């Protein structure tokens, strides 16, 4: 009588093949964590944080990413304020969804730590909102198409209580008017970069040293701050410059001497460079 080796039965062979496939199967690559993404050279951790806030408020982040995001917002006032806005919207939508017959609940009261006096002036690049804190200039915003209420909300999102006060901002508006009239080449006013990340602050500081009538490239600024591969991050930071004109991000262009982007629009960038007699050649 011939015995069959159990190793050679069809069922055993099938089991062995499955075991081999299981051992040799590639483990699917894991998505990078927010912490690892934020630690990359030239990456602004605030960008990573803001991009993932919607996922956090709807509970779509895994625990490590939630922990990183909360840790970041605990240290960054700007991101904390932005996250608070997301949380409020989510709370309002949840309440409204429970009964759409109820009136929309009022926003919870905002606790402001500081005040910001603001006014508006006319300029060759259109109306400008100018805001100052007790430390210095805190905001200059291009006002074309922007209502005063929206500008006030911008200040509130940064933790400021907006107060309309033309006199309080006059030391800034006077120098701005002199600049636009061609009578001033630099500004002698204190600036307040509260809530700005260290990386963005380094970019803005380097930009502030670019002389009147001259241009530098995004690559130049990246090299100046010691991060030559961070050209794109430099551009992102300049696009969020809270104090344009005084911090002259309009003087930063592409390496091929084309204009590049500008938070206020390329037409305004051209006007400011022409005003200073800057050449892109």
Write down the domain spans for the chain: 40-93, 110-193, 196-281
Query: 82 versus 267: which is more confidently predicted?
Result: 267
**Is residue 24 predicted with pLDDT exceeding 70?**
no
100-114, 155-169, 206-220: which is most confident: 206-220
- Tokens read off for 241: 């410059």
Query: 19 versus 170: which is more confidently predicted?
Result: 170
**Is residue 54 predicted with pLDDT exceeding 70?**
yes
Which of 46, 76, 79, 249 is catalytic? The answer is 249
State pLDDT tens for residues 234-274.
998 999 899 999 999 999 999 888 888 888 899 999 999 99
Q: Residue 210 — very low, low, confident or very high, per pLDDT cuts 50/70/90?
A: very high
Question: 196-281 belongs to which CATH class?
Answer: mainly alpha
pLDDT value at position 83? Answer: 87
Query: Cβ atoms within 10 A of the Cβ of 2, count?
Result: 3
pTM (2 decimals)?
0.62
Q: What is the dotted CATH code of the domain comprising 110-193? A: 3.30.160.70
Residues 6+ apart with CB under 8 A from 141: 128, 129, 131, 151, 154
Task: Give the pLDDT mean for 104-129.
Answer: 78
Backbone angles phi, psi at 280, to 5 degrees: -95, 0
CB 124 within 8 A of CB 271: yes
Query: 52 versus 173: which is more confidently predicted?
Result: 173
Average pLDDT of the chain? 83
Window from 34-43, 115-124, 140-149, 235-244 with minimum mean pLDDT: 34-43
Strand ranges across the sheet with 160-164: 137-142, 128-132, 114-121, 160-164
Is 76 in the active site? no
């Amino acid at each position: 009588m011939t015995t069959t080796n159990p190793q050679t039965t069809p069922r055993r062979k099938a089991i062995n093949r499955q075991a081999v496939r299981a051992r040799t199967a590639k483990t699917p690559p894991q998505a990078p964590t927010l912490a690892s993404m934020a630690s990359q050279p030239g990456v602004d951790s605030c960008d990573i944080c803001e991009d993932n806030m919607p996922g956090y408020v709807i509970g779509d982040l895994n625990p490590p990413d939630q922990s990183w995001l909360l840790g970041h917002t605990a240290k960054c006032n700007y991101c904390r304020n932005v996250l608070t806005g997301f949380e409020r919207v989510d709370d309002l939508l949840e309440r409204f969804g429970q009964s759409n017959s109820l009136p929309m609940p009022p926003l919870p009261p905002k606790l402001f730590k500081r005040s910001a006096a603001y006014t508006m002036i006319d300029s060759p690049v259109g109306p400008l909102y100018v805001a100052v804190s007790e430390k210095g200039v805190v905001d200059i915003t291009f006002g074309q198409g922007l209502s005063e209420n929206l500008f006030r909300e911008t200040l509130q999102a940064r933790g400021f209580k907006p107060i309309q006060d033309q006199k309080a901002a006059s030391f800034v508006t006077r120098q701005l008017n002199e600049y636009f009239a061609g009578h001033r080449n630099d500004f002698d006013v204190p600036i307040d970069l509260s809530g700005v990340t260290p990386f963005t602050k380094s970019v803005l500081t380097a930009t502030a040293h670019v002389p009147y009538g001259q241009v530098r490239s995004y690559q130049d600024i990246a090299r100046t701050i010691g991060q030559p591969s961070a050209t794109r991050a430099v551009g992102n930071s300049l696009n969020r410059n809270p104090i344009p004109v005084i911090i002259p991000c309009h003087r930063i262009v592409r390496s091929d001497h084309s204009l590049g982007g500008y938070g206020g629009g390329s037409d305004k960038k051209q006007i400011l460079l022409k005003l200073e007699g800057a050449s892109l050649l």
